């Protein structure tokens, strides 16, 4: 049959097994060059895809006579159903490409242009984005942005759909539902022109603050499409302290995403969570860390003041500059020698409070990363082939605004998601840290543990807070998603729609002698300051257990973690001391997850006592 002027073979395709992650349908191959000309396929209804009930793809490619095939028209249709018996949603994307220019090379800088984002400000006041809709015979609304730039016209059915959606979203009942969705998804409740929240931070209870009450807000695009301001105030009934913070960001330019920001915060925080240079905003983990044994994370009262600037210098390369001042008052037993050159001098004074004045330079390079941009935020949605490199350099100034230390910090982070063929997909996260300067442990690198019931992909989830302190370390995390490689081949498991996932965490590092000696011995003062334990490789592996559940309460799965750890050598330090060096730390487990749990799975911390001497007793 002919597709345009090309005589094509019409070929039917079907998966070898009905439950495979593959399509069935029809493809058209040109008879002369055997090039793909058209594809019209649908995923098998028995394919195990999270939350997707129907997936269809139609694509027309350019004729082979014009050169290699390029997508001229692509239509993607899929249905979304969170769980069986719940309401579903049908989503359709149509992309039309035209005006291809071939065989005209340009320098690389020609393509370093960000996508322009259309907004209501780009369209005429009468037409808006959609313009005249079905039923508007007068055309009073005029032509919208898409009416003026769309290479083809909408069908009558499509225009009627837009008209229904445009009128339905103005109904009070619909707007009320959308507000509740915003509350449960993002944690904020819209009140007038402000968002109140996050909801999960409103109340917490721990052994230091007691009952903690928090009220927060943020501005919305209804106030400004360039300014975003967030603030909060909190109070603890046990420590009887007020905490508060205010943060504002100004989007100076969207094409290169130029953002200026400032923040001030007066807050009680945990030393174990201070040094998280590459920890993205994880509101659920931060909120959960406020519960329970807060004292074991070594609380401090921190006054934080920052000024920041960020800009995309060229496509994929983002440069950030941060000026930061911190005034830290430890709220636990802590002291350090003020003279790092000769800490054993009996005349050396002990210090407790300290100030930090820093400049932080961060460079991030993601060669082929895609970004989704909204009115007040931007989010990365992953790369296609290349890893993402993030390098951060921190310079601490001495005697600047009464700062206490001069130091250097170096951090490098590499992340990537790789296809491993039939084995599924591998995600890895490699981080290196080096601090050559003598500093007390609250300013050093503290590998992030997790005592919350929620999985944190950037933490050692089988490790408690404040188990290790390092000034040089390398950490590697591997997550292998085997998809249906094994479970789909076993008839009994295939019906359960489970996933096989393997994870491994490895940390190697240490603490220099000069940093170990910054802590005074217990005999220096009546107060028994916490010291460091020295660790030696342990010949026997330690076992930890845990379980995973989903937010939909559809069952639970059991996973076993095999961990090789380190055993403490004899020491005279306090029993609640952190470890001075890390030789081996491996958390490794396989787990079987129902398909609907793949994204929302939680990991509960294993019961205390498992892992033997691997843990420092806090």
Do 78 and 217 lie in one domain? The reply is no
Range of the domain at 87: 2-104
In a domain, residue 387? The reply is no
pLDDT digits (tens, 9 = 90+) for 19-44: 777 899 999 999 989 999 999 999 98
Which of 58, 84, 104 is the endpoint of a domain?
Answer: 104
Query: What is the pLDDT confidence band of residue 270, given thresholds at 50, 70 and 90?
Result: very high
Do 227 and 95 lie in one domain? The reply is no
Do 604 and 484 lie in one domain? The reply is yes
pLDDT at 589: 39
DSSP E strands in 384-510: the ranges are 388-397, 407-419, 425-434, 472-481, 498-510
In a domain, residue 448? The reply is yes
In a domain, residue 306? The reply is yes
Alpha carbons 186 and 197: distance in angstroms, whole number? 9
pLDDT at 476: 92
In a domain, residue 97? The reply is yes
**Stretch among 29-33, 113-117, 257-261, 282-286 having the lowest mean pLDDT:** 113-117
pLDDT digits (tens, 9 = 90+) for 144-198: 667 777 777 777 777 777 777 777 767 777 777 777 777 776 788 888 899 998 8
pLDDT digits (tens, 9 = 90+) for 333-358: 888 888 766 666 667 778 889 999 99
pLDDT at 585: 41
Do 314 and 430 lie in one domain? The reply is yes
8 Å CB contact between 13 and 38: no
Do 87 and 203 lie in one domain? The reply is no
Cis peptide before 212 (omega within 30 of 0): no
Do 96 and 239 lie in one domain? The reply is no
Give how many domains the chain has, as a whole number. 2
pLDDT at 453: 84
Query: What is the pLDDT confidence band of residue 561, given thresholds at 50, 70 and 90?
Result: very low
**Ordered DSSP codes for 5-74:** TEEEEEEEE--SSTTSS-EEEEEEEETTT--EEEEEEEE-TTS--TTEEEEEEEEEE--GGGSS--EEEE
Do 99 and 208 lie in one domain? The reply is no
End-to-end CA distance of the chain: 75
Q: Is the pTM of this model over 0.95?
A: no
Which of 104, 139, 170 is the endpoint of a domain?
Answer: 104
Do 440 and 564 lie in one domain? The reply is yes
In a domain, residue 139? The reply is no
Higher per-residue confidence, 260 vs 66: 260
Do 89 and 225 lie in one domain? The reply is no
Q: Is the pLDDT of residue 608 over 70?
A: no
CA distances (Å), 379 to each of 103, 271, 376, 529, in order? 33, 28, 10, 44
Do 227 and 88 lie in one domain? The reply is no
Q: Is the pLDDT of residue 513 over 90?
A: no
In a domain, residue 474? The reply is yes
In a domain, residue 243? The reply is yes
Which of 50, 82, 104 is the endpoint of a domain?
Answer: 104
pLDDT at 475: 92
In a domain, residue 610? The reply is yes
């Amino acid at each position: 049959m002919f597709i345009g002027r090309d005589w094509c073979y019409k070929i039917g395709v079907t998966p070898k097994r009905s439950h495979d992650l593959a399509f069935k349908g029809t493809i058209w191959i040109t008879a002369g060059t055997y090039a793909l000309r058209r594809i019209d396929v649908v995923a098998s209804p028995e394919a195990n895809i999270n939350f997707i009930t129907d997936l269809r793809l139609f694509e027309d490619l350019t004729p082979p006579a014009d050169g290699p095939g390029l997508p001229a028209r692509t239509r993607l249709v899929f249905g979304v159903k969170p769980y069986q018996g719940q309401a579903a949603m049908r989503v359709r994307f149509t992309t039309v490409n035209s005006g291809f220019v071939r065989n005209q090379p340009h320098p690389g800088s020609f393509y370093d242009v960000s996508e322009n984002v259309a907004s209501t400000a780009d369209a005429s006041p009468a037409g808006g984005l959609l313009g005249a809709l079905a039923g508007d015979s007068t055309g009073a609304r005029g032509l919208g942005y898409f009416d003026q730039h769309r290479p083809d016209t909408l069908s009558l059915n499509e225009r009627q759909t837009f008209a229904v959606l445009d009128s339905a979203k103005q109904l009070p009942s619909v707007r009320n539902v959308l507000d509740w969705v915003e509350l449960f998804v993002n944690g904020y409740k819209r009140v007038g022109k402000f968002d109140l929240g996050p909801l999960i931070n409103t109340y917490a209870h721990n052994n230091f603050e007691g009952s903690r009450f928090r009220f927060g807000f943020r501005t919305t695009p209804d106030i400004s499409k360039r300014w975003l301001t967030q603030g909060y105030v909190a109070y603890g009934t046990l420590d009887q302290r007020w905490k508060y913070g205010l943060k504002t960001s100004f989007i100076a330019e969207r094409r290169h995403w130029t953002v200026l920001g400032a923040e001030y915060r007066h807050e009680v925080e945990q030393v174990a969570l201070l040094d998280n240079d590459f920890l993205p905003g994880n509101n659920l983990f931060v909120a959960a860390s406020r519960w329970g044994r807060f004292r074991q994370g070594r609380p401090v009262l921190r006054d934080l003041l920052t000024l920041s600037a960020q800009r995309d210098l060229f496509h994929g390369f983002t440069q950030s500059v941060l000026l930061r001042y911190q005034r830290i008052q430890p709220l636990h037993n802590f002291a350090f020698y003020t003279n790092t050159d000769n800490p054993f001098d009996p005349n050396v004074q002990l210090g407790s409070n300290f100030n930090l004045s820093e400049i932080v330079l961060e460079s991030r390079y993601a060669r082929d990363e895609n970004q989704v941009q909204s009115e007040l935020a931007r989010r990365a949605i992953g790369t296609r082939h290349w890893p993402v490199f993030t390098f951060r350099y921190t310079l601490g100034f001495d005697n600047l605004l009464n700062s206490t230390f001069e130091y250097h910090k170096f951090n490098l982070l590499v992340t990537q998601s790789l296809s491993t063929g039939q084995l599924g997909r591998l995600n890895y996260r490699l981080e290196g840290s080096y601090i050559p300067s003598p500093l007390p442990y609250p300013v050093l690198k503290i590998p992030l543990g997790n005592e919350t019931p929620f999985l944190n992909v950037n933490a050692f989830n089988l490790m408690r807070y404040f188990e290790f302190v390092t000034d040089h370390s390398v950490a590697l995390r591997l997550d292998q998603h085997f998809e249906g490689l094994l479970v789909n081949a076993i008839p009994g498991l295939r019906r359960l729609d489970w996933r096989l996932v393997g994870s491994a965490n490895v940390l190697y590092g240490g603490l220099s002698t000069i940093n170990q000696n910054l802590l005074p011995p217990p005999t220096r003062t009546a107060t028994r300051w916490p010291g460091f334990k020295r660790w030696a490789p342990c010949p026997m592996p330690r076992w930890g257990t845990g379980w995973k559940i989903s937010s939909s309460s559809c069952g639970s799965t059991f996973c076993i973690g095999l961990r090789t750890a380190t055993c403490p050598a004899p020491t005279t330090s306090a029993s609640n001391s952190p470890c001075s060096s890390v030789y081996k730390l491996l958390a490794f487990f396989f787990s079987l997850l129902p398909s609907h749990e793949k994204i929302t799975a939680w990991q509960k911390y294993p019961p205390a006592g498992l892992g033997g001497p691997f843990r420092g007793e806090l």
